[in-house]
Amino acid sequence: MSEKDVQDVDLLVIGGGKAGKSLAMDRAKAGWKVAMVERDKIGGTCINVACIPTKALVGSARTLLTARHAARMGIEIGSEPAVDLEALRAHKEDVVGGMVEAHKKLFADSGMDFVLGTARFTGERTVEITAADGATRAVRGRDVVINTGTTPALPDLPGIADAQVWDSETILRLERLPETLLVLGGGYVGAEFASMFAVFGTRVTLLQGRDQLLPREDRDVADEVARVLTGQGVDVRLGARASAVRREEGHGDVVVTLDDDSEVRGQELLVATGRTPVTAGLGLEAAGVRLTDRGFVAVDGHLRTTADHVWAAGDVAGSPQFTHASWHDFRVLRDNLTGGDTVTSGRIVPYTVFTTPELARIGLTETEARAQGHDVKVARLRVAAIPRAKTLHEGTGIWKAVVDAGTDQILGVALLGHHAGEVLSAVQMAMLGRLPYQQVRDAVFTHPTMGEGLNLLFDTLDDDKARG
């Protein structure tokens, strides 16, 4: 392609994830000439194959639980509630489809040039885009943003490539509800799918290589999540490291061999052992963009890559792998592209693991706080003590808060229980405002709400008992 065929734009976005699409729309509305290239998922990973479909299905699992437990609330439902697989799939596709359609309209209304195709760098700030029909075009950005995300990792285990295993995308096709399901990996994906499928009636065995579920959490919190899963019927096996996988003939069982040579079998296997950055085939060398040792695009605090006027955001840039982190990357980029000077360091990124009930987390764990030299006080509360939880028969879970004993600042919180993700935002506001915990302890919350439990949680910070 000759130089005169290269189209120049103010902003070129490669990959329409949360950061990229938000920035593309924002800058197009501001009058910039913007092109955004997306390979196949209109709206990005979260909407098509991650957060949104999984949370639609978690919603179904919770509806099933509510129906199952209706009698204890004095409601007679009649026959045993059950999953209708076709309707379940339709529900999920309806939610996803609606959001994809909404994005098409938002993209068009913003005035950006939305290009469905695969981008590959051919030189500095310049890409060749190949559309599904093979047509190509070249675009050069004054500034370029790489937002190509991550994809499920397939661990290097003998036999796994031929065992027709599921990953977090293929399982969402909901081709069947297996009677038995093996889940390899006890991180976020493993915990959420294990909880969901167990509620749907599948006998789930979760194989976690480490000796703790959700290894980033404090052990007491992770153990409590494991108890929740066990209570739902999940066989949680810790320290169960897979060494090989095979599928028996005629699409028979999947068999996982563990490090101790024992075998575990199930009708299907979900591999949930992490995600790999999408950089292959991007031609990053041609653009002067370097990777970190772990294969992510190397960026500084401003999200600048090693190439001038080339930026990266979201999962591929090594940001915490959450949609809201990518969304914040958008704000950082917007500032930096319009004369600002904003960095990603120091931001607090909370998250919620959508088991049922869910685990909501922010800030430091107790382990991290102690390792950083804080003298800590730890507050603990059983969710069953919260009046709202009693009215709902939703007493499962524990809440935990870690406070600096010297400054009374809240360092971190883990809330496992009903609507924990919603309650977490109140704690987050207190942390952002640097309020001492006493202000949360003594705030007047509405009765009876789950949020009111924060009074009770911080009330337990009686100095003698809480000092660890």
Ligand X SMILES: NC(=O)c1ccc[n+]([C@@H]2O[C@H](COP(=O)([O-])OP(=O)(O)OC[C@H]3O[C@@H](n4cnc5c(N)ncnc54)[C@H](O)[C@@H]3O)[C@@H](O)[C@H]2O)c1
Shorter beta-carbon distance to ligand FAD: residue 155 or 406: 155
> Is 164 within 8 Å of 247 (Cβ atoms)?
yes
Please tell me whether 315 is known to bind a ligand: yes
Q: Using DSSP, how many helices (H) and how many strands (E) does the chain show?
A: 14, 21
**How many residues belong to the chain?**
468
> Is 64 within 8 Å of 81 (Cβ atoms)?
yes
Give the chain's largest Cα–Cα span.
Answer: 75
Please tell me whether 187 is known to bind a ligand: yes
Please tell me whether 377 is known to bind a ligand: no
Sheet holding 242-247, edge to edge: 242-247, 254-258, 263-266
Binder to ligand X among 89, 91, 142, 210 (CB under 6 A)? 210
15: contact with ligand X by CB under 6 A: no
Binder to ligand X among 98, 201, 215, 406 (CB under 6 A)? 215
322: contact with ligand X by CB under 6 A: yes
285: contact with ligand FAD by CB under 6 A: no
Distance CA 284, CA 307 (A): 10
Binder to ligand X among 352, 355, 356, 396 (CB under 6 A)? 352
Strand 358-363 and strand 410-417: the pairing is: antiparallel
Nearest distance, CB of residue 195 and ligand FAD, angstroms: 13
51: contact with ligand FAD by CB under 6 A: yes
Nearest to 314 by CA among 169, 167, 449, 150: 150
C-alpha pair distances (Å), 359 with each of 132, 168, 267: 41, 20, 29
Binder to ligand FAD among 11, 28, 38, 92 (CB under 6 A)? 38
Can you tell me whether residue 209 is helix, strand or coil? coil
Distance CA 291, CA 285 (A): 10
273: contact with ligand FAD by CB under 6 A: no
17: contact with ligand FAD by CB under 6 A: yes
Nearest distance, CB of residue 113 and ligand FAD, angstroms: 14
Can you tell me whether residue 348 is helix, strand or coil? coil
Binder to ligand FAD among 26, 34, 35, 41 (CB under 6 A)? 41
Binder to ligand X among 18, 120, 275, 418 (CB under 6 A)? 275
Decide which of ligand FAD, ligand X, none touches 18; Cβ closer than 5 to 8 Å per partner kind.
Answer: ligand FAD
Binder to ligand X among 107, 121, 166, 188 (CB under 6 A)? 188
Nearest distance, CB of residue 192 and ligand X, angstroms: 6
Nearest to 278 by CA among 122, 171, 153, 184: 153
Nearest distance, CB of residue 466 and ligand FAD, angstroms: 31
Please tell me whether 189 is known to bind a ligand: yes
The single residue of 251, 302, 419, 447 carrying the catalytic annotation is 447
186: contact with ligand FAD by CB under 6 A: no
Distance CA 401, CA 379 (A): 5
Please tell me whether 163 is known to bind a ligand: no
Please tell me whether 463 is known to bind a ligand: no
Shorter beta-carbon distance to ligand X: residue 127 or 242: 242
Shorter beta-carbon distance to ligand X: residue 143 or 224: 224
The region of 178-186, 336-344, 394-402, 429-437 touching ligand X under the rule CB under 6 A is 178-186
> Is 282 within 8 Å of 272 (Cβ atoms)?
no
Place of tokens 């575990």: 264
Nearest to 92 by CA among 55, 38, 146, 144: 55
The region of 89-97, 179-187, 261-269, 423-431 touching ligand X under the rule CB under 6 A is 179-187
Distance CA 205, CA 239 (A): 13
Nearest distance, CB of residue 105 and ligand FAD, angstroms: 18
- Residue 121: alpha-carbon gap to chain centroid: 28
Binder to ligand X among 35, 42, 242, 410 (CB under 6 A)? 242
Give the burial class of 95: count Cβ atoms within 10 A of its Cβ; 0-12 exposed, 13-18 middle, 19 or more buried: middle
For 21-33, give the DSSP string.
HHHHHHHHHTT--
Binder to ligand X among 32, 197, 200, 351 (CB under 6 A)? 351
331: contact with ligand FAD by CB under 6 A: no
The region of 10-18, 30-38, 174-182, 208-216 touching ligand X under the rule CB under 6 A is 208-216
Dihedral sign for Cα atoms in the order 314, 318, 324, 330: negative
Establish whether the linkage from the previous residue to 155 is cis, with ω within 30° of 0: no
50: contact with ligand FAD by CB under 6 A: yes
Does residue 393 have an active-site annotation? no
Taking 3-state DSSP, the helix, strand and coil percentages for the chain, each rounded to the nearest 5, stand at 35, 25, 40
Nearest distance, CB of residue 283 and ligand FAD, angstroms: 9
Please enumerate in sequence order all residues whose Cβ is within 8 A of that of 68, keeping only pairs 6 or more positions apart, or say none. Answer: 80, 81
Catalytic amino acids? 447
Residues binding ligand X (CB under 6 A)? 155, 184-190, 192, 207-210, 215, 241-242, 272-275, 321-322, 351-354
Residues binding ligand FAD (CB under 6 A)? 14-19, 37-41, 44-46, 50-51, 54-55, 118-119, 147-149, 168, 189, 278, 282, 314-316, 321-324, 326, 354
* Residues of each annotated binding site for FAD: 55, 315
